[in-house]
Amino acid sequence: MDTRERLIESTRELLWERGYVGVSPKAIQQRADAGQGSMYHHFASKEALAAEAIGRSAEQLRAAAETQLSGPGTAVERIGAYLRREREVLRGCPIGRLTQDPEVMAIPALRAPVEQTLAWIRSRLARVLAEGREQGEFSSRLDPDATAAMIIATLQGGYVLARAAGTTEPFDQAVTGTLALIDANVAE
């Protein structure tokens, strides 16, 4: 991995661990085993590096979601695969956690990939739900947009509850409850 990649990956990890305010250029340089000159050769500022790192995290999160949501199976099976995919629950969502960082939310270049990624996932879930409804898999009463919003909110809340409890159990319960609500809307 070249210096630029080490800087991006180190920043991604540090943002996930500490948030934007908690990450100093020195910490990034130490984690990446790069000097100050190297960092500023590749990136004009900490903000520019963070924007690249957040963008990379967003791409990876979308790609992981797309793998399950476009995979084989029914809408219920694909959503189940998305909800049950392997995650580092106690670390929280690498994108969702950034919404709690006031600096990220105040800087448009940092906020944009966070906002766009959460909107993309919500929209993608809604399309899978709408497809399932159109194919008769779900009751006609199912609102794909509202249900997609519920899924995202439940996942993000599940991360928070798990981190607060120090165990994945609340997250697992949130996923189980979400799947039960979706199953309750399966057409008879």
Within-domain flag for 2? no
pLDDT tens by residue, 24-55: 999 999 999 998 888 999 999 999 999 999 99
Question: Does residue 160 lie in a domain region?
Answer: yes
Q: Has residue 22 been placed in a domain?
A: no
* 34 in a structural domain: no
23 within domain boundaries: no
Q: Could you tell me if residue 67 is inside a domain?
A: yes
pLDDT value for 187? 82
Q: Over the chain, what is the mean pLDDT?
A: 95
Q: Which residue, chain included where needed, has tokens 């984690």?
A: 31
- Residues 81-102 pLDDT 10s: 999 999 999 999 999 999 999 9
pLDDT score of 188 more than 80 = no
**Residue 45 belongs to some domain of the structure:** no
Q: Is residue 119 part of a domain?
A: yes
Q: Report pLDDT digits (tens) over 136-175.
A: 999 999 999 999 999 999 999 999 999 999 999 999 999 9
Its pTM surpasses 0.85: yes
Helix 144-165 crosses helix 169-183 at what angle (to 10 degrees)? 160
d(CA 50, CA 69): 28
Provide the residue range defining the domain that includes 89.
54-183
Number of domains comprising the chain: 1
Q: What is the CATH number of the domain that holds 176?
A: 1.10.357.10
Q: What is the DSSP string of 67-113?
A: HHHTSSS-HHHHHHHHHHS---GGG--TTGGGGG-HHHHHSHHHHHH
For the cut 90, the answer to whether the pLDDT of residue 1 exceeds it is: no
